[in-house]
Protein backbone atom coordinates (compact mmCIF):
# COMPACT_ATOMS: atom_id res chain seq x y z
CA UNK A 1 0.00 0.00 0.00
CA UNK A 2 1.17 3.49 -0.76
CA UNK A 3 2.62 5.10 2.38
CA UNK A 4 2.67 8.50 4.03
CA UNK A 5 4.96 10.79 2.07
CA UNK A 6 4.67 8.86 -1.20
CA UNK A 7 3.78 10.74 -4.35
CA UNK A 8 0.46 9.80 -5.88
CA UNK A 9 0.74 7.78 -9.09
CA UNK A 10 -0.42 9.59 -12.21
CA UNK A 11 -3.32 7.41 -13.31
CA UNK A 12 -6.16 8.33 -15.64
CA UNK A 13 -9.59 6.66 -15.35
CA UNK A 14 -13.00 7.16 -16.81
CA UNK A 15 -15.27 8.80 -14.25
CA UNK A 16 -19.01 9.07 -13.85
CA UNK A 17 -19.56 12.72 -12.96
CA UNK A 18 -22.34 14.21 -10.81
CA UNK A 19 -23.88 15.84 -13.90
CA UNK A 20 -24.28 12.42 -15.58
CA UNK A 21 -21.39 12.67 -18.03
CA UNK A 22 -18.59 10.13 -18.33
CA UNK A 23 -15.14 11.50 -19.06
CA UNK A 24 -11.47 10.78 -18.43
CA UNK A 25 -10.08 12.07 -15.14
CA UNK A 26 -6.37 12.22 -14.36
CA UNK A 27 -5.06 12.41 -10.80
CA UNK A 28 -2.35 14.79 -12.07
CA UNK A 29 -5.15 17.28 -12.82
CA UNK A 30 -5.64 17.75 -9.06
CA UNK A 31 -2.08 18.80 -8.21
CA UNK A 32 -2.22 22.05 -6.27
CA UNK A 33 -5.39 20.98 -4.46
CA UNK A 34 -6.13 18.84 -1.45
CA UNK A 35 -7.52 15.50 -2.60
CA UNK A 36 -9.52 12.85 -0.74
CA UNK A 37 -9.64 9.56 -2.62
CA UNK A 38 -11.58 6.63 -1.24
CA UNK A 39 -11.94 3.12 -2.65
CA UNK A 40 -14.85 0.73 -2.23
CA UNK A 41 -14.85 -2.91 -3.38
CA UNK A 42 -17.78 -3.16 -5.82
CA UNK A 43 -20.95 -1.46 -6.96
CA UNK A 44 -24.34 -3.06 -6.22
CA UNK A 45 -23.22 -4.33 -2.79
CA UNK A 46 -24.40 -3.84 0.79
CA UNK A 47 -21.88 -1.78 2.80
CA UNK A 48 -20.58 0.33 -0.10
CA UNK A 49 -23.75 2.40 -0.57
CA UNK A 50 -23.71 3.44 3.10
CA UNK A 51 -20.23 4.87 2.67
CA UNK A 52 -20.92 6.49 -0.69
CA UNK A 53 -24.08 8.14 0.67
CA UNK A 54 -22.16 9.43 3.71
CA UNK A 55 -19.36 10.90 1.57
CA UNK A 56 -21.90 12.36 -0.87
CA UNK A 57 -23.83 13.95 2.01
CA UNK A 58 -20.60 15.62 3.18
CA UNK A 59 -19.32 16.52 -0.31
CA UNK A 60 -20.16 20.20 0.21
CA UNK A 61 -18.12 20.22 3.44
CA UNK A 62 -15.13 18.72 1.61
CA UNK A 63 -15.56 21.32 -1.15
CA UNK A 64 -15.77 24.22 1.34
CA UNK A 65 -12.60 22.83 2.95
CA UNK A 66 -10.80 23.23 -0.35
CA UNK A 67 -10.58 19.51 -1.07
CA UNK A 68 -11.62 17.51 -4.09
CA UNK A 69 -13.49 14.31 -3.22
CA UNK A 70 -13.11 11.30 -5.52
CA UNK A 71 -14.41 7.76 -5.09
CA UNK A 72 -13.25 4.66 -6.95
CA UNK A 73 -13.92 0.98 -7.43
CA UNK A 74 -12.88 -1.64 -9.96
CA UNK A 75 -16.24 -1.27 -11.71
CA UNK A 76 -16.56 0.78 -14.89
CA UNK A 77 -17.87 4.35 -15.01
CA UNK A 78 -20.82 2.88 -16.92
CA UNK A 79 -21.56 0.50 -14.03
CA UNK A 80 -21.41 3.49 -11.65
CA UNK A 81 -23.96 5.31 -13.83
CA UNK A 82 -26.26 2.26 -13.84
CA UNK A 83 -25.99 1.94 -10.05
CA UNK A 84 -26.79 5.63 -9.53
CA UNK A 85 -29.83 5.27 -11.80
CA UNK A 86 -30.93 1.89 -10.40
CA UNK A 87 -31.10 2.60 -6.69
CA UNK A 88 -28.03 4.31 -5.28
CA UNK A 89 -29.36 7.77 -6.13
CA UNK A 90 -27.49 10.94 -6.97
CA UNK A 91 -23.84 11.16 -5.94
CA UNK A 92 -22.13 14.54 -5.61
CA UNK A 93 -18.55 13.56 -6.44
CA UNK A 94 -16.85 11.86 -9.41
CA UNK A 95 -16.92 8.06 -9.26
CA UNK A 96 -13.79 6.66 -10.91
CA UNK A 97 -14.07 3.45 -12.89
CA UNK A 98 -10.93 1.36 -12.49
CA UNK A 99 -11.61 -1.67 -14.69
CA UNK A 100 -7.90 -1.94 -15.56
CA UNK A 101 -7.18 -1.95 -11.81
CA UNK A 102 -4.25 0.43 -12.48
CA UNK A 103 -5.50 2.87 -9.83
CA UNK A 104 -6.04 0.19 -7.15
CA UNK A 105 -2.65 -1.37 -7.98
CA UNK A 106 -0.94 2.03 -7.99
CA UNK A 107 -2.23 2.70 -4.48
CA UNK A 108 -1.58 -0.89 -3.37
CA UNK A 109 -5.17 -1.58 -2.35
CA UNK A 110 -6.05 -4.42 -4.72
CA UNK A 111 -7.11 -7.49 -2.71
CA UNK A 112 -6.36 -11.03 -3.87
CA UNK A 113 -10.03 -11.33 -4.83
CA UNK A 114 -9.51 -8.64 -7.50
CA UNK A 115 -11.44 -5.84 -5.79
CA UNK A 116 -10.14 -2.85 -3.86
CA UNK A 117 -10.13 -2.91 -0.08
CA UNK A 118 -11.93 -0.05 1.70
CA UNK A 119 -9.11 2.47 1.69
CA UNK A 120 -9.02 6.24 2.10
CA UNK A 121 -6.15 8.55 1.13
CA UNK A 122 -5.75 12.23 1.90
CA UNK A 123 -3.30 13.86 -0.48
CA UNK A 124 -1.77 17.33 -0.04
CA UNK A 125 -1.51 19.93 -2.82
CA UNK A 126 2.04 18.75 -3.63
CA UNK A 127 0.63 15.31 -4.53
CA UNK A 128 1.99 13.56 -1.43
CA UNK A 129 -0.04 11.18 0.70
CA UNK A 130 -0.52 12.56 4.22
CA UNK A 131 -3.12 10.07 5.53
CA UNK A 132 -3.89 6.43 4.81
CA UNK A 133 -6.68 4.31 6.31
CA UNK A 134 -7.83 0.86 5.23
CA UNK A 135 -10.46 -1.59 6.40
CA UNK A 136 -11.33 -5.16 5.57
CA UNK A 137 -14.13 -5.54 3.04
CA UNK A 138 -16.91 -6.05 5.60
CA UNK A 139 -16.31 -2.92 7.73
CA UNK A 140 -17.44 0.53 6.61
CA UNK A 141 -15.57 3.72 7.43
CA UNK A 142 -16.58 7.14 8.72
CA UNK A 143 -16.81 10.01 6.22
CA UNK A 144 -16.99 12.42 9.18
CA UNK A 145 -13.67 11.13 10.51
CA UNK A 146 -12.11 11.61 7.08
CA UNK A 147 -13.33 15.22 7.07
CA UNK A 148 -11.95 15.77 10.61
CA UNK A 149 -8.58 14.37 9.53
CA UNK A 150 -8.55 16.62 6.48
CA UNK A 151 -9.14 19.69 8.68
CA UNK A 152 -6.44 18.60 11.13
CA UNK A 153 -3.92 18.03 8.33
CA UNK A 154 -4.78 21.33 6.66
CA UNK A 155 -4.20 23.18 9.93
CA UNK A 156 -0.51 22.28 9.95
CA UNK A 157 -0.72 22.29 13.75
CA UNK A 158 -0.48 19.66 16.49
CA UNK A 159 -3.99 18.34 17.03
CA UNK A 160 -5.13 16.21 19.94
CA UNK A 161 -7.09 12.98 19.73
CA UNK A 162 -10.73 13.83 18.95
CA UNK A 163 -9.70 17.40 17.98
CA UNK A 164 -12.41 19.28 16.10
CA UNK A 165 -12.09 22.45 13.98
CA UNK A 166 -12.27 25.54 16.18
CA UNK A 167 -10.71 23.81 19.16
CA UNK A 168 -7.30 24.77 20.54
CA UNK A 169 -4.17 23.13 19.18
CA UNK A 170 -1.67 21.24 21.31
CA UNK A 171 1.12 23.53 22.45
CA UNK A 172 4.62 22.23 21.78
CA UNK A 173 6.79 22.19 24.89
| CATH code where residue 18 lies | 3.40.30.10
Helix (H, G, I), strand (E, B) or coil at 155: helix
pLDDT at 173 (0 to 100):
73
Residue 123 lies inside a defined structural domain of this protein: yes
- pTM of this structure: 0.96
Q: How far apart are CA 10 and CA 26, in angstroms?
A: 7
Residue 52 lies inside a defined structural domain of this protein: yes
Question: What range does the domain containing 118 cover?
Answer: 12-141
Least confident of 21-25, 68-72, 136-140: 136-140
Catalytic annotation, pick one of 13, 25, 27, 48: 48
Residue 71 lies inside a defined structural domain of this protein: yes
Residue 150 lies inside a defined structural domain of this protein: no
DSSP letter at 141 equals -
Residue 161 lies inside a defined structural domain of this protein: no
Q: For residue range 46-60, what is the model confidence (pLDDT) as tens digits?
A: 999 999 999 999 999
To the nearest whole percent, how much of the chain has pLDDT over 90? 97
Residue 34 lies inside a defined structural domain of this protein: yes
Q: Predicted confidence band at 148 (pLDDT cuts at 50, 70, 90)?
A: very high
Among this protein's residues, is 48 annotated catalytic?
yes
| CA 90 to each of CA 78, 87, 121: distance values in angstroms, whole numbers, following the listed order | 14, 9, 23
| CA 147 to each of CA 52, 93, 124, 131: distance values in angstroms, whole numbers, following the listed order | 14, 15, 14, 12
Q: For residue range 100-117, what is the model confidence (pLDDT) as tens digits?
A: 999 999 999 999 999 999
* Number of domains composing the chain: 1
pLDDT at 127 (0 to 100):
97
Q: Predicted confidence band at 70 (pLDDT cuts at 50, 70, 90)?
A: very high
pLDDT at 116 (0 to 100):
96
Amino acid sequence: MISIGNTVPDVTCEAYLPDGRIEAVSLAHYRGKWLVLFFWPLDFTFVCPTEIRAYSDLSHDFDVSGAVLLGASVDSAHAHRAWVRQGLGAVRFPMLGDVSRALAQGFGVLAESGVAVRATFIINPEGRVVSVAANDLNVGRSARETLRLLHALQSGELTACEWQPGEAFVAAA
